[in-house]
Structure 1
Amino acid sequence: MSKLISSLITELRRGTLTLAVLSQLRTPQYGYSLVQLLEKSGVSIDQSTLYPLLRRLEKQELVESSWDTTESRPRKYYVLSEYGIEILEQLKDEWEKTTNELQTLLKGDVENAPD
């Protein structure tokens, strides 16, 4: 794969990873469980990408975190905040709209596109 296409794919995926991560945080998840859930759906994400993303989402108040220290190894769990649920719904609507628009463009059927 050329450097250019690799760079363009990375750029394309950047926003979709945020939506993918938010979509899996309706129930509390810790980092590794989140990676597994995403990979099971075909979405690969490196931990070096995931943890900074989770910290950013927490700073934006879209997710909340808490530590579970009941196990031998403490785990930090993340879950959508009320605000995060609202934002996820808005992003999903925008994703569906954008996907439909792009499908129309990529099929070359612009003349018959809905107004």
Structure 2
Amino acid sequence: MADVNEIINGLMQELRRGTIILGVLSQLSEPQYGYSLVSVLEEKGISVDPGTLYPLLRRLEKQELLESQWDTHDTRPRKYYSLSPLGKEVFEQLCVEWKNLIGSLEGLIDQRGG
């Protein structure tokens, strides 16, 4: 018989995977480098593995949702990411879609008495 906690953990992982883009975009109105983004998201309750984040940042940059710039002033060069104008527009629309989705889901959950 399947363990309830094991099932819930797996399903929560799927839910997190689906929302990570929105979480990342929400934090890039100001430039952030990868590790700082991991830390900021962690502080706000969203755990993101660097092995997941860095490929996502590259993909979002390739889609022209992010812009990047290298900072070589510190001893360790860092690539800073921020929202592009297109990224800002996409983020705003995703927020609208997210709120609509939450409203629909809350309606479904409330409907069953949960």
TM-score by length of 1: 0.88
What amino acid is the match of 2:32?
A: Q
Match of 1:81 in 2: 84
CA distance in 2, matches of 1:87, 1:109: 33
RMSD between aligned residues: 1.5
Matched, 1:32 2:32: no
Match of 2:48 in 1: 45
Query: Structure 2, unaligned stretches of length 5 or more?
Result: none
CA distance in 1, matches of 2:11, 2:43: 24
CA distance in 2, matches of 1:39, 1:11: 18
Report the secondary structure of 1:65's partner residue. Answer: strand
What amino acid is the match of 2:85?
A: E
Matched, 1:90 2:90: no
User: How far did 1:32 drift?
Assistant: 1.0
What amino acid is the match of 1:74?
A: P
Percent of residue pairs bearing the same amino acid type:
58
Q: Moved runs in structure 1, 4+ residues, more than 6 A?
A: none
TM-score by length of 2: 0.89
User: How far did 1:69 drift?
Assistant: 0.1
* 1:16 equivalent among 19, 24, 29: 19
Report the secondary structure of 2:75's partner residue. Answer: coil
Query: Structure 1, unaligned stretches of length 5 or more?
Result: 111-115
CA distance in 2, matches of 1:16, 1:22: 10
CA distance in 2, matches of 1:105, 1:83: 33
User: How far did 1:90 drift?
Assistant: 0.3
